[in-house]
Amino acid sequence: MKKVIILIAVIFVLIQFFRPEKNISEKENFNSIEKQHAVPKNVSLILKTSCYDCHSNNTHYPWYNNIQPLAWWLNKHVVEGKRELNFDEFNRYSSEKKKKKLTEIIDEIEKKDMPLYSYTIIHSNAKISLEQQKEVNNWAKKLKDSLDFK
């Protein structure tokens, strides 16, 4: 039993040296959604508080991101989140993809699938109230409708 505990401790120490690359960009992003589309300040604040850690090129990492295997788990969420929607790359999307992503934003918020429950456990300020849901969804619907005319 003692050997097993020592082995687990050694493995735990060793994995601390293998860290994923952090999602932090120093560059000004010309493809961000706010560069081409009007995003009201209240909606922008909601998106930055509740969405951008996983859906942008800049994640604000919590202290526990310095502990493996938690950093790997967080990195997986960020990579998957950016693959689904990246607000910092939104203007690279085709018009059709933009409309699809806006529809998905509305659906995910209405179903309360976003932000992830596991995220809001630690980041309670990321929870979206009913009023905030309406604000984001109304904005997303208006933006989607405006894309139909471009």
pLDDT tens-digit map of 24-48: 887 778 899 999 899 999 999 999 9
Q: How many domains does the chain have?
A: 1
Average pLDDT, the chain: 90
Whether the pLDDT of residue 150 is over 70: the answer is: no
Contact 60/119 with Cβ under 8 angstroms? no
**In the prediction, which pLDDT does 133 show?**
95
At 58 the three-state DSSP class reads strand
- Interaxial angle between packed helices 41-50 and 130-147, expressed in degrees from 0 to 180 and rounded to the nearest 10: 110
User: Which strand (E) or helix (H) includes residue 143?
Assistant: helix 130-147
Whether the pLDDT of residue 132 is over 90: the answer is: yes
Domain that holds residue 134: 2-147
Q: Confidence band (pLDDT; 50, 70, 90) for 149?
A: low
Contact 46/132 with Cβ under 8 angstroms? yes
